[in-house]
Structure 1
């Protein structure tokens, strides 16, 4: 069990629930250091002033912003201390929404909220209310002085908090969105059949970070004095552009998916007629 990183109080109206905040995620990357290739010596990053060339201690470092004329405005500790400090002890519930109304693009970091002594009944009450309603709570809190909106929802009988990016931190899609393209119903139907076939036996819990697994195997082999293991060649990607007959590509993709997922194909015998209908439609158009 990870160590709690903070103790807080969930509040909504007159109800208060003492909780402990635990990190819900952890990175499993192999820690690679920067080293001198010739002798393996560690390469350290030093904090050096670009004006006088001196290496600085933590106490000599302040915060600053670049001014329009290219100069630097140095902010003193007094400047920063005068800023309004967010309440780091409270998780204040602002309201409740259907989870579908929260854009996943705003999700930032996730935490588990474990109940602290004395808060068992109100914690269980909020947990039950969230689970039965299918809604999430939108709250406001601060972690390490950063003020954030957050979503509270239930996972495995534990109230989970996911902090959100502020609306102005999410970039718009201007200049990226695709222009309107008219698609034939047969193309959409084949795409849906392909989606269903691929997804029928898909389990995200079986997926793993293949790069990290391979890197660990390389490190373990080298530590044991063995040559690095063979790394499988990269998968051949389909053409990135120039598709002249999208229907033919979709039909071939559906057939290949049915061969790779025979159980999924067996469950959907009726949908095999989609490709035949599409081919008939193309012949009639020709």
Structure 2
């Protein structure tokens, strides 16, 4: 694994330098959109919905759409005024009972590895969390934005898991659940019996993604059967750059035309005309010299 962030966990006067690693990875099979006929990849252009022009990255800004459908354009200067933090500190705010953290609040998960010189305080924090059955609520700045997270222990390693803000959890509004009435004693007894029949411990190895496995087998069979379409090289491998150059050229020509100057398309013709005039002058000069002699 490769560390994605370096910093330190601080609690009280204790400071534990650590490295952060992504604890999970997505194994979903990724597809590309291609042309059915030849397997060529589909490319997309950034087109303005108003003037239909191709827009370069330099001219793209962030926009916030209001409830009325209006657009508020935000500049880099606007974002500079927003609160941001670039601290490399994972600051422990408090230690709370583990059962007080609703799993719905938990988001992305990371492993924390200590530097060799800080192994002892790392182990101290790990063992204390396990012994007290608590989680550490921390604040951390990831990509300049401060967020809340928890530190917990899994398989002998301290794990940091970022948290959603409380207002990001939707409240269920299912009124009909209250209208159905309560279950009878007989129904509850039957439900208890069913649960008892299916009771057991969670064993991760008992479950697998059968869709992903079947899809991988399908692709492998097609490859082994020679059903592979080798796409020809794109005629325009740098299409995005060419589009940008074309847009820049168009802008330059438009600016020159507004000033009454010749455009890039007119330059070759102008050069040819100038060359003809120069040749004509040289020919005239030669004829005059011959007459004089």
The 1:25/1:42 distance shift into structure 2, 3 A limit, reads: same
Q: Which position in structure 1 is the counterpart of 2:92?
A: 93
| TM-score for the superposition, normalised by structure 1 | 0.73
Residues 176, 127 of structure 1: alpha-carbon distance in 2 compared, 3 angstrom cutoff: farther
Name the CA distance, whole Å, in 2 between partners of 1:212 and 1:175.
34
In terms of mean alpha carbon deviation, does 14-23 or 44-53 score higher? 44-53
Give the C-alpha shift of residue 197 in structure 1.
Answer: 2.2
Instruction: State the 1:116 CA deviation.
Output: 1.9
Q: Match of 2:212, SS?
A: helix
Tell me if 1:218 matches 2:197. Answer: no
- Residues 14/66 of structure 1: CA separation in 2 closer, same or farther (3 Å cut): same
SS of the residue aligned with 2:177?
coil
Tell me if the contact between 1:18 and 1:117 (Cα under 8 Å) persists in the aligned partners.
no
* 1:11 Cα deviation after fit: 1.2
Alpha-carbon separation, structure 2, partners of 1:217 and 1:200: 32
Alignment-derived partner of residue 169 in structure 1: 168
Distance 1:179 1:206, change over 3 A: same
5+ unaligned residues in a row in structure 2: which ranges?
A: 228-293
> Is 1:88–1:144's contact at 8 Å kept on the other side of the alignment?
no
The residue that corresponds to 2:191 in the other structure is 191
Change (3 A) 1:9 1:186: same
In the TM superposition, what is the alpha-carbon distance from 1:14 to its structure 2 partner? Answer: 1.7
C-alpha distance in structure 1 between counterparts of 2:102 and 2:39, whole Å: 46
**Is the deviation greater in 61-70 or in 37-46?**
61-70
Say whether the 8 Å CA contact 2:112–2:159 is kept in structure 1. yes
CA RMSD of aligned residues (A): 2.0
Structure 1: tracts of 5 or more residues without a match? 228-286
Give the distance between the partners of 1:179 and 1:151, measured in 2 at CA. 35
Aligned length: 226
Q: Which has the larger radius of gyration?
A: 2
For 1:125 and 1:51, the matched residues in 2 are separated by 61
Match of 1:205 in 2: 205
Contact map agreement 1:148 1:163 (CA 8 A) in 2: yes
CA deviation string 1:23-77 (max 9, x = no partner)? 0000111121111122211112332222222333332221121245533221111
8 Å CA contact 1:151, 1:162 repeated in 2: yes
Equivalent positions of 1:64-213 (< 5 A) are: 64-67=63-66, 70-175=69-174, 178-179=177-178, 181-200=181-200, 203-213=203-213
Distance 1:55 1:177 in 2: 51
Secondary structure of the equivalent of 1:48?
coil
